[in-house]
Structure 1
């Protein structure tokens, strides 16, 4: 049994060694340089791996991949040492999986025939596909089970109830979350499946969500994608190239008052169901007024190109503002929310039909920030109260998680700074 808060045990460190070597062999920069705030690498192709080690977790400013498998776990052990052991085992597996390796040292077919395999096997032969795994700790983890109450960060304050939300408790919250992003859905599902397998008896899956078609760009090298309402989504998103914005609005710092979160960030998730069929009957003019952008180019109304600055003073031929006060773009704009910026990393979802002939579809919203109280909460409150888009959407799930700093090297593990 490992010591809570210590470096990774020799057993888990041995299991991680091959993955660590794979990182170096793949041409990644060294751990030392990663800890000195390097630029995030762009994979040469969608098959290639991203580095696992670094000062920040991958999967935040990493150029957004095409597929998502997100899971929230409840911790079912009441032993702190078992939880730390699990985090160490998960880290070892994550380091291997993100480099296109199998979850365990013996893999799906290399162990004893009488024992369960070290990997489930459905990703055999598949490349890394840009897989990133990002972990976060929910407010419920900081109760009296593991002595963590005094380490709960102030920004991890429970979200308020927003007007109009219809949250389903069974698909909200969770002690721990893991976000798996990849270009191949089988790779993302395989990663989550193996973490759940490793966690058997210590954690149980609370809820999960599959996503396709990223709805945000996190790099200027990426084109802006579209949501299921047909509009470009996340045009003004923070990008990995925005060093000053990331420093001020994304990454937690020691000066924020929680030393163990320095280099980390805070994640908010919202499952937003869209009434697709009703929206599809709305006129183009109404749709564009609701968003405040044209549907084709994505330009702010009154302008020509997607990235033109929004002009809230622009008037139409009738003398009325081109961009309405209840438009989505105006209500979400930093200038109307105390200069609050978010790094969005959401995905479209379609979960079949609802039994009434309507698609169960919408947006699985994910946003990262330095302090949700100052960023997500004011923006969402503004939208919940006034957004014309609310006629066509409803929020049914919510999550809030503290994502710790990155894993430094093969002897480190997810959340070590919390348990130190």
Structure 2
């Protein structure tokens, strides 16, 4: 959870991630239309909280049929799915590489994934022949559930976890230990963490974002199938209703607490901010990661039932913004900068000292900013009948220390009473892929 410059309840170039979006041959599909009104293949029970996600799917940077038909280049200077206008649906997956795989096998897996991803993002099947064009006595090359669907703005983003370089036992399985980024380490334990191993870590990650849930699920399903015998799914997460905007053309969405989220997120149009806060520079270490970024994933469960009993005024004091407009409690509109010096009639700060907005703000964290691409999730209910719901937080930053700085600042956040961090992972995201290359090729050369 965070505000404008961090992660959570109020926080936050197209040309550099490829050549941008181009329309696919088909418009808004029946499946895409149905996807606007529920979690679709995700199977999530969205309920009334999903209203913001429904609106975003229809009124994001690309609207309605255009959003469903958009196709983003897989190749480019940076991987797509970072500054790309945030889509409405997510399927995120972390994988463990088989102990039987060697370095050559790992490169072959990444090459196969790259080839498939380049096709899938254009609305194609994983290979020619696909679901129905092959032999009747062999399994189809594509699972087929996306037949007839457009690309739906699909982006596929790959990352490498710390254990790819040295596993939990300290073994250098692939001869990559010497090339591990010094900053790529498991995140430290933060106050209030209640992490579950089944939602934590991973050798590799794949982030699939799209405006049709079935398209995103199809991507992860087929990449998992391609990896069979070489890498296995460790954990995955479905998300809906983006909780941040990555383009100035997008309106601000709401999270499951009902507050606008991502008001001051780093945007694709802020080229200088991206260079300073998001992209690994040519002069940073290691050189093979130049043009890439670091991805932090956190599964944050919201204590929905308790929050829903909190008075409106108290909710606003906890967040530091109004629930309707999203304006800081110091006054103005959503886009007005918070005034942390402003005081009320009693001399108390208008924005409380333990409000989320104050603690997550760049001014409280040495100017740190991150680019967020989080999503709401509802994974049914627990054994006590409570909603298993919250925020699947995703942020991209030039250094993991940016996230660590903000998260430590949030130790005093009054919102912590209603949040539980249950999953965590960090990955190095290589730079963009040129045609003919595989993802992370510079790491192996």
Answering whether residue 144 of structure 2 is matched by residue 118 of structure 1, we say no
Answering whether residue 100 of structure 2 is matched by residue 74 of structure 1, we say no
Q: Secondary structure at the match of 1:46?
A: helix
Answering whether residue 73 of structure 2 is matched by residue 54 of structure 1, we say no
Answering whether residue 297 of structure 2 is matched by residue 295 of structure 1, we say no
> Once superposed, which parts of structure 1, at least 4 consecutive aligned residues long, lie more than 4 Å away?
23-27, 41-44
CA distance in 2 between counterparts of 1:249 and 1:210 reads 27
Deviations 1:361-381, CA, capped at 9 Å, x for gaps: 0000000000011x1001001
CA distance in 2 between counterparts of 1:317 and 1:126 reads 58
Instruction: Give 1:63's aligned residue.
Output: 85
CA distance in 2 between counterparts of 1:349 and 1:387 reads 22
TM-score w.r.t. structure 2 length? 0.84
Once the two structures are superposed, the pairs formed by residues 17-416 of structure 1 within 5 Å of their partners are 44-76=66-98, 77-143=100-166, 144-373=172-401, 375-383=402-410, 385-409=411-435, 411-416=436-441
Q: Secondary structure at the match of 2:420?
A: strand
Q: Offset at 1:317? A: 2.2
Deviations 1:159-188, CA, capped at 9 Å, x for gaps: 111011000011100000000000000000
Equivalent pairs counted in the alignment come to: 383
Q: Offset at 1:355? A: 1.7
CA distance in 1 between counterparts of 2:309 and 2:224 reads 42
Alpha carbon RMSD of aligned pairs, Å? 1.6
Q: Secondary structure at the match of 2:294?
A: strand
Q: Secondary structure at the match of 1:361?
A: strand
Q: Offset at 1:78? A: 2.9
Q: Offset at 1:415? A: 1.1
Q: In 2 relative to 1, CA 265–126 (structure 1 residues): closer, same or farther, beyond 3 Å?
A: same
Instruction: Give 2:3's aligned residue.
Output: none
Q: Secondary structure at the match of 1:154?
A: coil
CA distance in 2 between counterparts of 1:70 and 1:157 reads 20
Deviations 1:49-97, CA, capped at 9 Å, x for gaps: 1111101000000000000000000000331111100110111100000
Q: Offset at 1:25? A: 9.7
Q: Offset at 1:314? A: 1.0
Instruction: Give 2:12's aligned residue.
Output: none
Deviations 1:122-170, CA, capped at 9 Å, x for gaps: 0000000000000000000011000110111022122111011000011
Asked if the contact 2:96–2:204 (Cα under 8 Å) also holds between the matched residues in 1, the reply is yes
Asked if the contact 2:23–2:70 (Cα under 8 Å) also holds between the matched residues in 1, the reply is no
Q: Offset at 1:112? A: 1.0
CA distance in 2 between counterparts of 1:419 and 1:195 reads 21
Deviations 1:268-288, CA, capped at 9 Å, x for gaps: 000000000000000011100
Q: Secondary structure at the match of 2:72?
A: coil
CA distance in 2 between counterparts of 1:297 and 1:123 reads 39
CA distance in 2 between counterparts of 1:131 and 1:381 reads 34
TM-score w.r.t. structure 1 length? 0.89
Asked if the contact 2:159–2:206 (Cα under 8 Å) also holds between the matched residues in 1, the reply is yes
CA distance in 1 between counterparts of 2:346 and 2:383 reads 44
Q: Flag structure 2 segments of 5+ consecutive residues without an equivalent.
A: 1-17, 26-60, 167-171
CA distance in 2 between counterparts of 1:115 and 1:198 reads 15
Q: Flag structure 1 segments of 5+ consecutive residues without an equivalent.
A: 1-19, 28-40
CA distance in 2 between counterparts of 1:148 and 1:218 reads 33
Q: Secondary structure at the match of 1:395?
A: strand
CA distance in 2 between counterparts of 1:45 and 1:199 reads 30
Instruction: Give 2:444's aligned residue.
Output: 419
CA distance in 2 between counterparts of 1:402 and 1:317 reads 49
Deviations 1:169-209, CA, capped at 9 Å, x for gaps: 11100000000000000000000000000000000000000
CA distance in 2 between counterparts of 1:68 and 1:93 reads 18
CA distance in 2 between counterparts of 1:78 and 1:96 reads 25
Q: In 2 relative to 1, CA 284–42 (structure 1 residues): closer, same or farther, beyond 3 Å?
A: closer
Q: Offset at 1:304? A: 2.3
CA distance in 2 between counterparts of 1:341 and 1:360 reads 29
